[in-house]
Amino acid sequence: MISAACLTKGSTSDEAARYMLNGFGVEIRYEYHRMIADVFLSTAEGKTDYAIIPIENTIDGSVSLHTDWLVDEVNLPIQAEWVYPSIQNLIGASSELTEANGNLAYDRIVKVMSHPVAMAQCTQYLKRHLPHAELEHVGSTSEAVRIVRDNPGRGWSAIGQVSAAADNGLDILESAVTDHDNNYTRFLLVGPKPFTLKESEKHKTSILITLPEDYPGALHQVLSAFSWRRINLSRIESRPTKKKLGNYYFLIDIEMSMESVLLPSAIAEIEAIGCQVRVLGSYPSFKYEAR
């Protein structure tokens, strides 16, 4: 049996976790939390084998809060990554928020609640149809659905998953309200144990680089260590070190395993110019395949 910490039942994370982990013939115990901090801490404190972390979204980009937790607050290696479609829906009680003719009564909706990332994926929809509604952020999409369920008759609605609506006895008022159809979220499986349930043809490595101070052209040299070896990078992002204004580290995703010959030598070259390198994980990368 393996155990995994995840955002609340019925969240996008929960659906994505089941997509990834179920069906390997191994029993999985899920531990649900309302806040992402508790998801990380459960695995960091040894209560679960893995934590399921949404890290990047097609529309909203990197989830900086989750990146910061991964880098600054815990030391949990990345063991796998996969993408999962993020289809968000407007959820509420149709008896309360629908006209007699069956049309959605937008003017009766006074509040929309959701996870900030899910809400950001529906910005255009909310502007067009619900500009008058108050928008409120909560810890997960399913948490939003639960709060709406517990507050009937107030004109509240949530943005979230079909399964959360069903679990809470609410209705899909409008389906697929995300601004673009091609909306995917990239998830990480983090924890101390390597992930061995499934093989993948593609491997990635994520590293964190802190440049030496006052070293002109340091970033250029870092990138050239990869480019002349023809090592492909899939993401480079800078985040503040939080130690001094203007100090940043670079988070780089590399399309190569640490087991390859080339990558360790590129990293050694980068360290030789005075950069600090921390490997966040070298892991299989899985593509989404509709089942």
Contact flag: residue 7 with ligand PRE (CB under 6 A): yes
Contact flag: residue 117 with ligand PRE (CB under 6 A): yes
Contact flag: residue 11 with ligand PRE (CB under 6 A): yes
CA distance 68 to 239: 8
Contact flag: residue 206 with ligand PRE (CB under 6 A): no
CB of 48 or CB of 57, closer to ligand PRE: 57
Task: Give how many residues touch ligand PRE by CB under 6 A.
Answer: 15
Are 116 and 86 in contact, with CB atoms under 8 Å apart?
Answer: no
DSSP for the chain? -EEEEEESTTSHHHHHHHHHHTTSS--EEEEEESSHHHHHHHHHTTSSSEEEEEEEETTTEE-HHHHHIIIII----EEEEEEEE---EEEE-HHHHB-TTS-B-GGG--EEEE-HHHHHTTHHHHHHH-TTSEEEE-S-HHHHHHHHHHSTTS-EEEEE-HHHHHHTT-EEEES--SS-S--EEEEEEESSSPP-SS--SEEEEEEEEEPPTT-TTHHHHHHHHHHTTT--EEEEEEEE-SSSTT-EEEEEEESS-TTSSHHHHHHHHHHHTT-EEEEEEEEEEE-----
Phi, psi of 28 (to 5 degrees): -120, 130
Contact flag: residue 13 with ligand PRE (CB under 6 A): yes
Q: Single out the segment in contact with ligand PRE by CB under 6 A; choices: 9-17, 99-107, 220-228, 246-254.
A: 9-17
Contact flag: residue 89 with ligand PRE (CB under 6 A): no
Beta strand 61-62 with 28-33 is unpaired
53, two tokens: 């972390």
Selection from 279, 274, 275 nearest residue 263 by Cα:
279
CB of 48 or CB of 141, closer to ligand PRE: 141
Single residue of 42, 48, 141, 282 touching ligand PRE by CB under 6 A = 141
Q: By CB under 6 A, what part of segment 166-195 binds ligand PRE? A: 185
Q: Single out the segment in contact with ligand PRE by CB under 6 A; choices: 8-16, 100-108, 128-136, 230-238.
A: 8-16
Residue 42 CB, shortest distance to ligand PRE, in Å, is: 15
Residue 68 CB, shortest distance to ligand PRE, in Å, is: 13
CB of 8 or CB of 282, closer to ligand PRE: 8
Residue 160 CB, shortest distance to ligand PRE, in Å, is: 6
Residue 117 CB, shortest distance to ligand PRE, in Å, is: 4
Single residue of 42, 48, 57, 67 touching ligand PRE by CB under 6 A = 57
Contact flag: residue 149 with ligand PRE (CB under 6 A): no
Q: Single out the segment in contact with ligand PRE by CB under 6 A; choices: 37-45, 115-123, 195-203, 265-273.
A: 115-123
Residue 139 CB, shortest distance to ligand PRE, in Å, is: 7
Contact flag: residue 12 with ligand PRE (CB under 6 A): yes
Residue 21 CB, shortest distance to ligand PRE, in Å, is: 15
Interface residues with ligand PRE (CB under 6 A) are: 7, 11-13, 54, 57, 63, 86, 115, 117-118, 140-142, 185
